[in-house]
Amino acid sequence: MDLNTKDIQLQYQGFLKTPQLWKSDIIFGLKQLDLPKIDVTPFNESLEKKLRLGKRVERFVSHLLKQHDGFKILSENYQIQNNKTTLGEIDCIVEKDNQPIHIEIVYKFYLYDYSRGSSELIHWIGPNRNDNLFKKLTKLKEKQFPLLFKPQTKKLLKDLNLIGANIFQQVYYKAQLFLPFNFKLETYTLVNKECIVGFYVRHTELDQFKKSKFYIPSKVNWLQEVQTQTSWINFEQFLTKLDPIIKNNTSPLCWIKHPKGELEKFFVVWWD
């Protein structure tokens, strides 16, 4: 197995183990697709090395759906065009027990910043602070789901012999969540606490980890769980690699191996 194939398998395993961001409840009027737990086969498709994380996840979801009895994929990644303008994309339409379902697929990394906004949905922000959970849920509800009923989507529905009003709309929304270092979050009520996988620190607070080892995975490998056998670097080497990333106003996901061997994921954020 070559390195790229091994990485893809580890990405797929990490994707599978990532919980959905909420469970049975409907948040913001959005219902999660419920997939029963089954034994799944390894991901055996080839992926372009440059395929970005979000598109990889869509391929992983497609592979996963094919493992489930009763699911039939009718359409994937359908671009909705208005002349030469792209209005958006219908991620996936499936049929389950003769019921068509439009699924929007989301995989996110959120950090809990209680200083931002006044609600839990706004406190969960993207690593670079240009995104938050509330904004994404709003986009899903007000922009991505309504695409199904645009005049430009009629051809797709006609080709599939479907009527928009008869199609359920659900999300398949997974996330990795990170808390401030040494912060105990007691008040969350909406998100699935099983999604919390690590912590984050500001780049000015790293001195407390001088005795640890580090690794900075590529972005597509953010999906992976922390791997024991990897090219760990010391604190000084880590700072050297980290410096240009932080100066570029980018918050990387990193792996840390604490002195006693504990492994964790964490973000180093450039903002104060």
* Full pLDDT tens readout for the chain, 272 residues: 566 889 999 999 999 999 999 987 789 999 999 998 888 889 988 899 899 999 999 999 999 999 998 899 999 999 999 888 999 999 999 999 999 999 999 999 999 998 888 888 999 999 999 999 999 999 999 999 999 999 999 999 999 999 999 999 999 999 999 999 988 766 667 899 999 999 999 999 999 999 999 999 999 999 999 999 999 999 999 999 999 999 999 999 999 999 999 999 999 999 98
d(CA 257, CA 152): 51
Which CA distances in Å does 118 have to 29, 114, 124? 20, 8, 11
What distance in Å separates the CA atoms of residue 168 and residue 85, rounded to the nearest whole number?
A: 26
Helix axes 3-17, 53-67, angle to 10 degrees: 70
Buried b (16+ CB within 10 A) or exposed e, 242-256: beebbeeeebbbbbb
- N-terminal to C-terminal alpha carbon distance within the chain: 43
Which pair of tokens denotes residue 224?
Answer: 């992976």
pTM of the prediction?
0.95
Inter-residue contact 78 to 90 (CB < 8 Å): yes
Identify whether the C-beta of residue 69 lies closer than 8 Å to the C-beta of residue 95: no
